[in-house]
Amino acid sequence: MPALKVKWWIPALWMAFWTLQVQAQEASPAGEEDEANECSQELIENYDMGMRVGSLFIILGTSAIGVYAPMILHRTSPYSEGSIRDWVLAIGKFFGTGVILATAFVHMLPEAMENFESPCLTGGWLSYGAFAGVFCMLASFALQLLELAMVAHLEKLRRKSQTVMNSSISEKTDLEVSAVHADDTCHYDAHAHAGGLMEEDAFKHVGTYILELGIMMHSILIGITLANTGNSEFTTLLIALVFHQFFEGMALGTRINELSYQGCLKPVIMGFFYIIMTPIGVAIGIGIHSSFNPGSYSAVLANAILDSLSAGILLYNAYVSLMSMEISHNHDFRKTCTHRKIACFLAMYIGAGLMSLLGKWA
């Protein structure tokens, strides 16, 4: 009888154990299988090469119109303050400020956060949920240090210039000093004023260069994304990116207008670099479409870090250089008429709103 009981319970225990194993395998690999599918490469069926190449030139033309239109409007002929062209350029500048803010808050940061939470990353990256904010913050710290170094360099140059001026004055005779004292004082005041303008102009140059860097980093990524988007979503994304590039180009073009360049060559070159970045991204995406896996570890991590850094660059630039320096601490803006202020603020809010709306598709 004991022998019979042993023979009875062994198959029963084995069956119970086998059932639990099957259930566990059906429960756990399901989640792992979903993650594997999400991170695996999905080849685009019937890849339409002509449509992708065409999109490259469409975005090239749209970006050129966006960035060069404000420059042409600004440089074709002199215009007076308060004229229609002055109003259009001022409103375009504030519209661009709103576009830059929305690009950072709506297009870059959410995308970076989503990528940092992707199951395609390893456990180390997934163990901390705020990497997007960390890289964004690091970018803003780096820009602040860059501006501090620039100010220190300008002050050093100014001290050298002042030392040379003082030594030249001390070498004159008392009679000569008394005779030209008034002229030297005026010259010194003019020099100090010119130094202040030089510092302000240097801030604008560095800020615009950094702004373009952040936009260009993002442009490469969206170009690669467009080239590797499925046929069903391609047209919608292309239309959204056409508006995206046009608005961003306007934002950059109006900022380049603020720089004190004598000729047209440097503004044209700066605009050209913006124009070609997204098409370059599209060309890269077309070239690697057969082997590119947007869900791979390296692709997800690169997108997450670059979007975070770009967001930090744009946010720092928008709040410090564009909003604070151009609005809050700008004497000319504060003393302007009320209806012009209202128009500028409305333009900024409309720019941010339109760019935020595009975030639904791009």
DSSP code, position 360: T
Whether residue 4 is predicted with pLDDT greater than 50 in this model: the reply is no
Q: Two tokens at 319? A: 């709040």
Are the C-beta atoms of residues 125 and 301 closer than 8 Å to each other?
A: yes
- Look at residue 220 and tell me whether its pLDDT is greater than 70: yes
Model confidence at 106: pLDDT above 90: yes
Position 33 scores a pLDDT of 53
| Mean of per-residue pLDDT scores for the chain | 81
Cα 91 to Cα 74: distance, rounded to the nearest angstrom:
13
Burial of 158 (0-12, 13-18, 19+ CB in 10 A): middle
At residue 200 the predicted structure's pLDDT band, cuts being 50, 70 and 90, is: low
Q: What pLDDT was estimated at residue 124?
A: 87
| Closest to 352 in 3D by CA, of 67, 90, 106 | 106
- Which tens digit of pLDDT belongs to each residue from 140-175? 999 888 878 877 777 787 778 777 777 766 666 554
Q: Which residue has the tokens 């997204």?
A: 278
What pLDDT is stored for residue 174 in this prediction?
A: 52
> How do residues 235-258 score in pLDDT, each as one tens digit?
899 999 999 999 999 999 998 988
CA-wise closest residue to 292 among 59, 305, 283: 283
Which three-class secondary structure state does DSSP give residue 294? coil
Residue 38's pLDDT is what? 67
Give the distance, in angstroms, between the CA of residue 331 and the centroid of all CA atoms in the same chain.
28
What span, in angstroms and rounded, lies between the C-alpha atoms of 131 and 127? 10
Query: Residues 296-355: pLDDT tens digits?
Result: 899 999 999 999 999 999 999 888 878 888 888 888 888 889 999 999 999 999 999 999
Q: Whole-angstrom Cα distance, residue 278 to residue 61?
A: 11
User: What pLDDT score was predicted for residue 325?
Assistant: 80
What pLDDT band is residue 25 in, cutting at 50, 70 and 90?
very low
Do 71 and 253 meet the contact criterion of CB atoms below 8 Å apart? yes
The H helix count followed by the E strand count for the chain is: 12, 0
